[in-house]
């Protein structure tokens, strides 16, 4: 199913700025694998091999994630598909860049977090300036009425110009961007003597992202949390499922496999939308499971919000399951209305993604020994839109 937002908000300028062009160049590759231009062909077939980077991540069963400590690997995974999240940043791992900017104190080359902080400070200053101008205009109008007995329009000068600033004409004064651990002023001659900053940030991959990079793209190596030895695909398969059980023993032993393992259910949805070309990110900020971006977070906001709803093919499997899957029980209309309203306010289309869990009586459990079990799941989608009479008269 191809999702197309009927109310797309992309309003690209006819003449893209240099910054937009640089962003498009930096994030030109949708996946870590790069297919270069064919240099030569034989019988109509290209003999150029794709470039497939091999990144390394450390499994952390406690946080149910994989940590990419190498900054080069983290940059590749983020710029080619927006995989993971910086543990010290909002999304893109930019902690080191923020520290360097804070040390230089030049205000140039701001990161996404610093740009957001600057815009929020400007909006706050605009509201304060507007409130002061409105109070002054009201006082002036009251004085004119008491002393001269005439009524004037508050905020309008005698020549017809507007005194109260508007968002279109207001210009901010110099605003300092809040930064983390801003050092005191340092003379220019001492800048070169400052000790270099150590990058303390790592890229944190969810288990779904890590398994997609391992199994679907073969560009990630996952290390054992204790021995730092590379794990085989079978060991990763068992470890990721075991991370969602109550036992977090270091010996990566898998309890009896089940089709309703939370990792398998969530990965089915993740792989489904990734295979359709969407950039899939966590949607916990908007009370949903996933957010779908057409190109990526740096280009535009997410268009769709995904709620994963497991559906048991055999109700007896749900009764006997040790897992309490989220949204497996029938939800109330108040819950659905709340989620739909939250995402409608931020112009996202809500999608209910029903994941059908195969019955254990129909499919033998030995199928769960490998990712071949994914063929027995199915995905159905229901798109919801909040009805707003004032906006939908046509």
Token pair 């470039």 is found at 51
**Is 366 considered catalytic here?**
no
Spot the catalytic one: 271, 294, 348, 377.
348
Question: Is there a contact between 95 and 199 (Cβ–Cβ < 8 Å)?
Answer: yes
Token pair 């605009």 is found at 126
CA distance 75 to 159: 56
Spot the catalytic one: 293, 294, 312, 377.
293
Question: Is there a contact between 265 and 378 (Cβ–Cβ < 8 Å)?
Answer: no
Question: Is there a contact between 295 and 287 (Cβ–Cβ < 8 Å)?
Answer: no
**Is 301 considered catalytic here?**
yes
**Is 293 considered catalytic here?**
yes
Token pair 């983020």 is found at 78
Q: Which residues are catalytic?
A: 293, 301, 348
């Amino acid at each position: 199913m191809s999702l197309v937002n009927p109310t797309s908000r992309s309003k690209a300028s006819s003449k893209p700025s240099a910054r937009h062009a640089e962003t498009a160049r930096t994030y030109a590759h949708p996946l870590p694998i790069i297919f270069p231009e064919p240099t030569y062909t034989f019988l109509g077939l290209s003999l150029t091999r794709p470039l497939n980077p091999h990144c390394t991540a450390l499994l952390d069963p406690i946080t149910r994630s994989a940590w990419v400590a190498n900054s080069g690997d983290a940059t590749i995974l983020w710029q080619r598909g927006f995989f993971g999240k910086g543990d010290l940043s909002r999304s893109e791992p930019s902690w080191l860049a923020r520290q360097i900017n804070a040390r230089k104190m030049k205000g140039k080359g701001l990161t996404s977090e610093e740009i957001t902080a600057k815009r929020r400070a400007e909006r706050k200053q605009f509201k304060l300036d507007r409130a002061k101008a409105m109070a002054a205009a009201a006082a002036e109008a009251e004085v004119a009425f008491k002393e001269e007995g005439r009524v004037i329009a508050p905020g309008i000068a005698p020549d017809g110009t507007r005194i109260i600033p508007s968002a279109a004409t207001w210009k901010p004064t110099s605003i300092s961007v809040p930064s983390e651990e801003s050092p005191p002023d340092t003379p220019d001659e001492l800048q070169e003597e400052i000790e270099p900053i150590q990058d303390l940030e790592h890229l944190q991959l969810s288990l779904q992202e890590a398994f997609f990079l391992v199994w679907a793209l073969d560009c990630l190596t996952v290390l054992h949390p204790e021995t730092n030895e590379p794990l085989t695909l079978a060991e990763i398969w068992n470890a990721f499922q075991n991370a969602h059980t109550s036992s977090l023993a270091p010996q990566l032993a898998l309890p009896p496999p089940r089709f309703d393992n939370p990792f398998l259910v969530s990965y089915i949805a993740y792989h489904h939308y990734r295979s359709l070309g969407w950039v899939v990110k966590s949607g916990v900020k908007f009370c949903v499971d996933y957010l779908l971006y057409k190109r990526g977070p740096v280009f535009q906001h997410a268009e769709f919000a995904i709620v994963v709803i497991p559906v048991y093919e055999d109700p007896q499997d749900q009764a006997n399951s040790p897992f309490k899957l989220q949204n497996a029980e029938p939800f109330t209309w108040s819950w659905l209305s709340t989620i739909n309203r939250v995402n409608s306010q931020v112009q996202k289309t809500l999608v209910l993604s029903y994941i059908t869990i195969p019955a254990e009586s129909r499919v033998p459990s030995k199928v769960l020994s490998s990712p071949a079990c994914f063929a027995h799941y199915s995905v159905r989608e229901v798109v919801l839109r909040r009805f707003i009479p004032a906006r939908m008269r046509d």
